[in-house]
Structures are given as C-alpha cells and as structure tokens.
Amino acid sequence: MCGTKRKSRSPPASVSGKLGTNDTKEEAPKLEIVWRNVIIMAYIHIAGTYGLYLWFSGQMLATTIVIGAHRLWAHKCYKAKLPLRIILAICQTFACQNSIYEWCRDHRVHHKFTETHADPHNAARGFFFAHVGWLLVKKHEDVKTKGQTVDMSDLEKDSVVMFQKKYYLPLTIFCSFVVPYICPLYFGEEPYKAWYMVVCRYMLILNFTWLVNSAAHLWGPRPYDNNIHATENALVSGLAVGEGWHNYHHVFPWDYKAAELTTYNYNWTTALIDFFAWVGWAYDLKTVPERIVYQRVHRTGDGSHPKHNHGVGVVQDDDNGTLCNNNLEVKNSWGWNDKDVTKEERDITIILKQNNKKSQ
C-alpha cells in the first residue's frame, strides 16, 4: 500500500560479503580443460583466419587479372600510369595464368573469332571444352593462323608487359607457389597443409576465371545480342569479380565497366578502376552512352532487357531522330585499338578522366 514502507531485502551473504571472507561459501570447483576441444577450436579459428587470408588474396589476384590483363591490356578500356601498370603486372604474375602478352593474345583472338574454330575456348564445343578442355589439347590450326592476324603492337611497345613476358616462368613459379608456401610455414603451419592450401587457392582462381569462358557463354539471357553465345550470368559475375555480364561485354568490349550496371553490385573491378582514376593512376576510361546501349538492345537483344521494344524495327531517340534499324551490319572486335571499331563507334564513346599526357 502507498503508506506502507516496504522492507528492503538484504542480499545473500555470498553476494554482500567479500569473496573469500564468507565461511559458508563453497569453493568454486576446479575446471578441467578438455584439451581435445581446445585443439579443435584453436584449429578452427587459426585455419579459418588463414582461409580468410587465402580467400582475400585469391579474390585480390582475380580482381587484378580483370583490371590489368583483361580490361587494360587486352581491351584498352582505359589507360594506366606506370606505377599502376607495375602493380597489375606483379599481381598477374602471382596469378599464374600465362604472361600478360599471351593472355591478351588469346583473349583478343577469342573476341575476334568467338565461337569458331579460331576461338581458343570455343563454347560451341560444349561446357567442358570451353572450361578446361581447350588447355588439355593442342590448339586448332585456325587459332594459330588467325592469332597471327591480331594486332599486338601496342603491347610490344609496353616495357612492363615485355619485361614480364621475358622473365615470366621463374617469376610466376616464385610468386605463385614459393611465396604463398613459405608465408604460412613462417607462422608454424605444417608443410603439407601449406602446400595443399596453395594448390587449392590456385585451383579456385583458375576455375572462377574459366567460368567466364564456359558458363557465361552457355547459360543466361542475351539482352544485347541474341546472335552470340555470350550471356549475362550473375553467379559468374559474383565469382569472377564482375566478369559475368558477358553479353554486354562482347557487344561493347571497350567499355571499362564491362556491364551496363550503374552500381558496383557484382562488379567490384569497376569500383577499383574508378578508385585508381580518382587517385590519378587510371585515365581515359571509355564507356558507351545509354542511348547506344538501348539501340543495340532493340535491334539484336532477346527481349529480356526491360527497355526492349519487342519487335519494333526502328527505334527513335528523344529528338525523334533515328538511332538504328535492323539492317546494320555488326563486326566482332577485340577492343578499342581494333581496326574494326568504326569511326562512328569511336565518336559516340564517352571518355572519362581524360589525360592528354603520354604514359604508355
């Protein structure tokens, strides 16, 4: 009741008294360590932490392959100053996926002669061949002969690329296997575990890269061009740090974003290129205007794009000017420096962070 004072309760002696001064308090039982569980939990957290390092380093190497060998050197989507080119060349060496020169040559041939016998990993021959089978057999003669017609003079003038090409084998053995093996040994890892984790990391990087050649050429919509094998595959893009938007990439291989996306979702490589552009190490970033993208969507897309006009032959822009029609011829090109990139395509391309100073 309101007028009644409540009696305060005294805390138990075991709480109010100081520890060790209460005669009635029982001593805490001695804890017995279960060493088996200690070892298991210690291993889980140490191995998991090391696994995070391997995952991060693997993703980093995959990203730098895409930034460097792919978007910079193979397609000339942007330009890079010397410090960035050196960093990207070092990371490419750690990845152990051929020298920059050979990687770019094969990739340019792939774009130029896609899904023909001249394509090194021709997806028309099935998933396994496009994924890894092409590396298990001798190259088709068309790959060799057509490969000689692809211009590589720009890379032959790049001192970073040619230095790496000259010393590639000893450098990649040291960077890809010796260094990743020695590092965990220094922190007490068992030799056989360290070795198999190095191999596991390498296997994952290879397969994530190969998925672009296989899965992203077989499964998924073709919103930009329904006449080619390359597709839009979000899963591949997530695993290959932005390389799964492949239908767009084959239509506009010189676009530094390699996708129509306006955000960095599933396209972390673009975020890094933008970062280096902000720093000042990357410049002349090439991209395609929206209206040109929609023009191609209407003309050759499979109808899966939300902007597709579903069968109307002529598309007009906001000024009622004709953008395209269904009779426009399309040629495959490997990137910005390809002779088959037309003057009109160059004129409409947007170039961001322009820098007139010569760097490469």
Query: What pLDDT is recorded for position 327?
Result: 38
Contact 112, 334 (CB under 8 A): yes
Query: What pLDDT is recorded for position 125?
Result: 93
Query: What pLDDT is recorded for position 102?
Result: 93
Query: What pLDDT is recorded for position 60?
Result: 60
- Which carries the bigger pLDDT value, residue 212 or residue 242? 212
Contact 203, 197 (CB under 8 A): no
Task: Kindly indicate the confidence band of residue 213, based on its pLDDT and cuts at 50, 70 and 90.
Answer: very high
Angle in degrees, 0-180, between the axes of helices 191-213 and 179-186, rounded to the nearest 10: 140
Q: What is the pTM of this model?
A: 0.76
Domain spans, the chain: 38-287+329-352
**What is the C-alpha to C-alpha distance for residues 325 and 328, in angstroms, rounded to an integer?**
6
**What integer is the mean pLDDT of 350-356?**
79
**What is the C-alpha to C-alpha distance for residues 332 and 110, in angstroms, rounded to an integer?**
10
Query: What pLDDT is recorded for position 61?
Result: 61
Q: What is the mean pLDDT of the chain?
A: 81
Query: What pLDDT is recorded for position 58?
Result: 56
SS3 169: helix
Query: What whole-number percentage of the chain has pLDDT above 70?
Result: 80
**What is the C-alpha to C-alpha distance for residues 199 and 194, in angstroms, rounded to an integer?**
9
Residue-wise pLDDT for 186-200, tens only, equals 877 788 888 888 888
**What is the C-alpha to C-alpha distance for residues 125 and 137, in angstroms, rounded to an integer?**
13
**What integer is the mean pLDDT of 22-26?**
58
Task: Kindly indicate the confidence band of residue 71, based on its pLDDT and cuts at 50, 70 and 90.
Answer: very high
Contact 236, 211 (CB under 8 A): yes
- Which carries the bigger pLDDT value, residue 122 or residue 190? 122
Residue-wise pLDDT for 217-266, tens only, equals 999 999 999 999 999 998 998 888 788 899 999 999 999 998 887 777 77
Residue-wise pLDDT for 130-188, tens only, equals 999 998 988 899 999 998 999 999 999 999 999 999 999 999 999 888 888 888 788 77
Query: What pLDDT is recorded for position 189?
Result: 75
Query: What pLDDT is recorded for position 325?
Result: 40
Give the burial string for 303-324 (b: 16+ CB within 10 Å, else e).
Answer: ebbeebeeeeeebeeeeeeebb
Task: Kindly indicate the confidence band of residue 77, based on its pLDDT and cuts at 50, 70 and 90.
Answer: very high
Q: What are phi and psi of 127, to 5 degrees?
A: -60, -50
Residue 138 C-alpha from the chain's centroid: 27
Statement: residue 115 has pLDDT above 50: yes
Residue with structure tokens 């000689």? 148
- Which carries the bigger pLDDT value, residue 203 or residue 340? 203
Contact 220, 232 (CB under 8 A): yes
Query: What pLDDT is recorded for position 241?
Result: 77
Q: What are phi and psi of 120, to 5 degrees?
A: -55, -40
Residue-wise pLDDT for 272-312, tens only, equals 899 999 999 999 999 999 888 988 999 888 888 887 766 55
- Which carries the bigger pLDDT value, residue 325 or residue 40? 40
Amino acid at 123: A
Statement: residue 1 has pLDDT above 90: no
Task: Kindly indicate the confidence band of residue 103, based on its pLDDT and cuts at 50, 70 and 90.
Answer: very high
Query: What pLDDT is recorded for position 331?
Result: 65
